[in-house]
Structure 1
Amino acid sequence: MGFFNSVPEDEDEVARPSWRGPDDTVMGAILPLNLVLGANEGAAVALREIIVHPEGGMLDIYAVARRADASARQWKAIRSSMNSGCERAEYTNAAKRSLRLGVLFRDGSRATTVDCPVDLRFSDDDEEPRPPILGLWRHAEDLSTDEHEYVSMRYWLWLWPLPPSEPFKLIVEWPAAGLEESAVEIDGAAVSELTAYTRNYWR
């Protein structure tokens, strides 16, 4: 018996269920969009692209805000609302004024970030939710100036399952920044067609 034989072997890693994110072994296909979902004098939200996977799509969202004539209190609330995205509305008052996004399909089914787990990667919920879902995968903050007069946040949102091959709506609202509800139409067929261009890294 060797010295290190007593070290336990790693347990086999359990595959991530598709509702919690894309397969790490698959390279998604990119659908460039550069769509402004909503904007006012102090804030804007845009969809840069959708990274299409066989089981769903990763939405690359940018939210930007500038202080302009906002008071110190208002500016703090706007910045805080960017970090409280994807918290369930009943959990915190901040979440009720946070940036939120949703999808609406022609059959009436819908999903919103308000209803999603806080972070799909770290969710300990093993029960598969009722589809569709739109959940936070990860986010990154970029403070673009030393004075913090301008701030941006990038979100990657996982849409599961893959949307149907027909137009659907992507809806945004950002109460803290005064951004009223607005919607853009996404071509679901263009999303679905890109599944043919996804590739496994090793096959």
Structure 2
Amino acid sequence: MFFEPPPALEEDASAAPPGLPIWYAPPADQAGTMTLTGLELARTPNVVVTLPSITAYRAGCLLNVEVAMRRHTLSADDYRALQMSVFPVMVPGVTSGRPLPDTLLRFGVRFADGTKATTVGQRFERLNIPREEPPGPRLSWLLGGMSMRSGGEDAGIVTPVGLWLWPLPPREPFELALEWPAGGIELGFTSLDGSAIGSAADRSAPHWPQQP
């Protein structure tokens, strides 16, 4: 089993410091370098998940995923439920020791040595972000919104999903995992080029180089 129920979480009584830590989100003071991939991660009659690009920074990389959905043969209620389940905060029932709900869209990475990180069990409450830097790797789901696109109702909708991988992956091939039972997507893996991501990260630069 690649995707497992999250472990029991301990409450952190201390508040998070101002701002988001580097292991949780890309840095705001740096310009990342984008690499185009154009990869299709999964396809069903109602859903297409793609990885158009990756933005690399010195500390990590942002996987720019897009989830395209259309109603097709779904009822209005089922289509609405599918749209809502793209956002993990809208999916109840992710509990330690219990099977993951079918509505949970989950991503993960796996390196050549077997090390992996997934989005399962991530907490989105800003005040509950721990102060201490966790052991890597970590794959953080960055909450976004619906991307505006042209076309009528039959064209469907596209939802961008940002996945922040920290730290940078090894400079060798690694795998991106995806599973979404409610979307008809079984567990699958797509190979990514860690060397190309590392080279792109080498070209990233701060917005204000002279700032101490």
Question: How does the TM-score come out when normalised to structure 2?
Answer: 0.78
Q: Provide the rounded CA distance (Å) in 1 between the counterparts of 2:127 and 2:155.
A: 32
Report the AA paired with residue 47 of structure 1: L
* Pair 1:141-2:178 in alignment: no
Residue in 1 that maps onto 2:184: 178
Aligned partners of 1:86 and 1:118 also within 8 Å: no
Deviation, structure 1 residue 142: 3.6
* Pair 1:129-2:134 in alignment: yes
Deviation, structure 1 residue 15: 6.5
Change in Cα spacing, 1:122 to 1:139, as seen in structure 2 (3 Å) is: farther
Residue in 2 that maps onto 1:150: 156
Q: Please, which runs of 5 or more residues in structure 1 have no aligned partner?
A: 1-12
Deviation, structure 1 residue 117: 2.8
Length, aligned pairs only: 190
SS of the equivalent of 1:74 reads helix
Higher strand share: 1
Deviations 1:92-141 (A, max 9, x none): 9995422211101111111111132337x775322322211111123111
| Correspondence 1:4-23 to 2 at 5 A | 16-23=20-27
Change in Cα spacing, 1:86 to 1:19, as seen in structure 2 (3 Å) is: farther
Residue in 1 that maps onto 2:4: none
Change in Cα spacing, 1:158 to 1:194, as seen in structure 2 (3 Å) is: same
Larger deviation, residues 139-148 vs 71-80? 139-148
| Correspondence 1:1-203 to 2 at 5 A | 16-84=20-88, 89-90=94-95, 96-118=102-124, 124-142=129-147, 147=153, 150-203=156-209
Deviation, structure 1 residue 161: 0.6
Deviations 1:6-26 (A, max 9, x none): xxxxxxx85643212222111
Q: Provide the rounded CA distance (Å) in 2 between the counterparts of 1:67 and 1:180.
A: 20
Deviation, structure 1 residue 158: 0.6
Residue in 2 that maps onto 1:6: none
Instruction: Calculate the aligned-residue CA RMSD, in Å.
Output: 2.8
Identity across the alignment (%): 30
Higher helix share: 1
Q: Provide the rounded CA distance (Å) in 1 between the counterparts of 2:153 and 2:48.
A: 20
Deviation, structure 1 residue 201: 1.3
Q: Provide the rounded CA distance (Å) in 2 between the counterparts of 1:183 and 1:116.
A: 21
Change in Cα spacing, 1:44 to 1:194, as seen in structure 2 (3 Å) is: same
Change in Cα spacing, 1:143 to 1:201, as seen in structure 2 (3 Å) is: closer
Where do 4+ consecutive residues of structure 1 move more than 6 Å? Answer: 85-88, 91-94
Q: Please, which runs of 5 or more residues in structure 2 have no aligned partner?
A: 1-16
Deviations 1:65-85 (A, max 9, x none): 111111233212211211236
Change in Cα spacing, 1:153 to 1:199, as seen in structure 2 (3 Å) is: same
Deviation, structure 1 residue 176: 1.2
Q: Provide the rounded CA distance (Å) in 2 between the counterparts of 1:173 and 1:77.
A: 17
